[in-house]
Amino acid sequence: MKVLFIAPFLRAPSGWRTLVIGIINAMSTYHQVKPHLIIAPKDLEAADELLPNVPKEVLPIVQDVSPRDVKKIPIWLNSYWQVKQTSFTDIDLVHSLEAYPTGMIGHWFARKFKCPHVITIAGTYGVKWHQNRVDRLLYGRILQSATYLCPISNGTLQRMQNRFGKDMSGTPNEVVLLGTPSKKQNDIDASTHSTKPKILSVAMLKKRKGFHHSIPAFGKIKATFPDAEYHIIGSLLNKNYVEHLKEIIKEQNIKDVIFHGRVSKEALENAYKTACLFLLTPVEETDQFEGFGFVYIEAGTYGCPVIGTEHGGVPDAIKQGQTGLIVPEGDVDQIANAMLELLSNPQKRESMGQANKQWSVELSWERYANQQQNIYQSCLSKN
Rounded to a whole number of angstroms, the distance between the first and last alpha carbons of the chain is: 14
For helices 102-113 and 73-85, the axis angle rounded to 10 degrees is 30
CA-to-CA dists, residue 190 to 187, 264, 270, 276, 305, angstroms: 5, 18, 9, 14, 17
Question: Rounded to whole angstroms, how far apart are CA atoms 37 and 51?
Answer: 9
HSE, side-chain direction, 13 A CA sphere, residue 375: 28
CB-based burial, 260-282: b 16+ in 10 Å, e otherwise: eeeeeeeebbbbbbbbbbbbbbb
Does 121 score more than 90 pLDDT? Answer: yes
pLDDT tens-place string over residues 347-370: 999 999 999 999 999 999 999 999
Question: Rounded to whole angstroms, how far apart are CA atoms 27 and 76?
Answer: 29
Does 25 score more than 80 pLDDT? Answer: yes
Q: What is the pLDDT of residue 189?
A: 53
Q: Which fold has domain 2-179+364-382?
A: Rossmann fold (3.40.50)
Q: Where in the chain is the domain with CATH 3.40.50.2000?
A: 2-179+364-382, 185-362
Query: Rounded mean pLDDT of 308-325?
Result: 96
pLDDT tens-place string over residues 180-201: 876 654 455 545 676 789 999 9
For domain 185-362, the question of CATH label 3.40.50.2000 is answered with: yes
Question: Rounded to whole angstroms, how far apart are CA atoms 18 and 11?
Answer: 11
Per DSSP bridges, beta strands 277-279 and 198-202 are parallel
Q: Which helix (H) or strand (E) holds 224?
A: none
Q: What is the pLDDT of residue 64?
A: 79
Query: Rounded mean pLDDT of 317-344?
Result: 97
Question: Rounded to whole angstroms, how far apart are CA atoms 10 and 113?
Answer: 25
Query: Rounded mean pLDDT of 123-138?
Result: 92
Question: Rounded to whole angstroms, how far apart are CA atoms 317 and 311?
Answer: 11
- Least confident residue range of 172-186, 277-291, 365-379: 172-186
Q: What is the pLDDT of residue 186?
A: 44
Query: Rounded mean pLDDT of 149-175?
Result: 96
How confident is residue 374, by pLDDT bands cut at 50, 70 and 90? very high
